[in-house]
A and B are shown apart, each in its own frame.
Chain A
């Protein structure tokens, strides 16, 4: 990790009030992410991982604590187009073609000077969908839709890519293939990434560091640095070191309260 931190989250708390109940979702969460680092956040269902990601991305405000993204609060980072979001649901616009979905961010805040280094056409090519550029979402498979969502998030070359279970809505086979695609894509660009996931294998394969959270209220129970060499190749899941990292994460999850849906 370098001394200059890209994202700093300090003693963050968030509570939700609904139907008279007051639910503490995140308690004293602190986290630093270095430029170019791939960090995964893993934890039991409903532990506030997604809430943490939304707060970092400026979609939610914390009740206490501070977040800085490249030295500014998330709202300013949004304005600078520093943040690219990928959600579990691809959330494409069904009335737009693949290419027009990727162009969507450019049609927002036309006044701003932000622009990316790659054109939408190039991004569509990067995610391997050039042949499908004129197709509409309903004509695509789940994996293809999620690749469009990824291309859309990369339009402004965001300093920070936030992914909320990006492969969570895919079937197991597509999911395994997409893991490696994501790995290859990321190893080519080395964008700073924070990814929320339920899958230990996915976290170990992709990340430089895996942050493990506890059940409610979500706290950080520990982190595991993944020192596997890059570029990581297919088959690495069967290596001794990989399995060992998986075990360590599993143990951290086990000490952190009830484990919900964790798929290895």
Chain B
């Protein structure tokens, strides 16, 4: 759903644009965006109505499947609770994203410059990647306690690998002619990094961000599941054991809102920063 919505806005954005100078929601952009929004809203409403009817006509017990109206009632009746728990999860996910991608990008810089470093780090990185998070989550709780740290670390672990792989490719994918030109001026490696490698890597790094941001949220939720007093993951775990389905569904809906919000935010930043790249121009 979120993807459809984004595609719709992306479609609306590409018009007769003057790239860098345009960030206006003029009528000609807004209308096509609405053109995509309206079918989405209609489809969602129909699905909700069908769900509601299915529950009411079939007389499903609330501990199996709550009707959307019941979920909505629970969610709106205790909005501050879900907002507070959601904020905890969001904070853990963002901190994990920040730590994981910073480490990944720094290592990516080193690996892009040295095959030796690349060969030494890569096997370790793969080890981190293939280890099931569910297996090490309890371990991290033992090491780091019940606070935010194990959640942040698990989110960071999930974020790390895709960002590292893409940043290595990104830092290496400088136009060879531009690199030759810089060499013909005796540009220093540092100048080549700032002026050429870093900007060239951004499309790759943002492609990774789009993948890992939902992963960071998933990581935080999984970690909360194991050990938390706070956060949507613990809300879900507790609701699950109480068979409190309206609360569980409300927590899931809150997570969906967080996921969509973060994805759209990334997308907006990416469009602004990468106005020059094929992915944005197409």
The residues in A between 63 and 117 inclusive whose CB is less than 8 angstroms from any CB of B are 75, 78-79, 81, 83-85, 87-95, 97, 104-105, 107-109
Check if A257 is an interface residue, CB within 8 A of chain B: no
Beta-carbon nearest neighbor of B274 in chain A: A95
| Of B20, B181, B195, B275, the contact of A91 (CB 8 Å cutoff) | B181
Stretch at the interface among A1-9, A27-35, A133-141, A184-192: A133-141
Residues of chain B within 8 A of A219, CB atoms compared: none
Q: Does B138 reach chain A (CB closer than 8 Å)?
A: no
Tell me if B181 and A109 are in contact (CB < 8 A). Answer: no
Q: How many A-B residue pairs have CB under 8 A?
A: 69
Given contacts A91-B175, A95-B276, contact A57 B184 (CB under 8 A): yes
User: Which residue of chain A is the closest to B176 with respect to CB atoms?
Assistant: A91
* Closest beta carbon of chain A to B276's beta carbon, Å: 4
Chain A 147-172 near chain B by CB (<8 Å), digits 1 or 0? 00000110000000000000000000
Interface of B is mostly: helix
- Chain B neighbourhood of A58, CB < 8 A: 184
Partner of B181, one of A95, A137, A139, A152: A152
A11 within 8 A of B: no
Of B175, B178, B184, the residue contacting A78 (CB under 8 A) is B184
Decide if B181 touches A87 in the complex (CB within 8 Å): yes
Q: How many angstroms between the C-alpha atoms of A172 and B24 in the bound complex?
A: 39
- Which listed residue, A79, A81, A90, A105, touches B177 by the CB 8 Å rule? A90
The smallest beta-carbon distance between A109 and chain B, in angstroms, is 6
Spell out A's residues near B (CB within 8 Å): 54, 57-59, 75, 78-79, 81, 83-85, 87-95, 97, 104-105, 107-109, 136-139, 152-153
Which 6 pairs, one residue from A and one from B, show the smallest C-beta to C-beta distance?
A91-B177, A94-B276, A87-B177, A108-B187, A91-B178, A95-B276
Chain B contact residues, CB within 8 Å of chain A? 18-20, 175-178, 180-188, 191, 195-196, 199, 275-277, 281
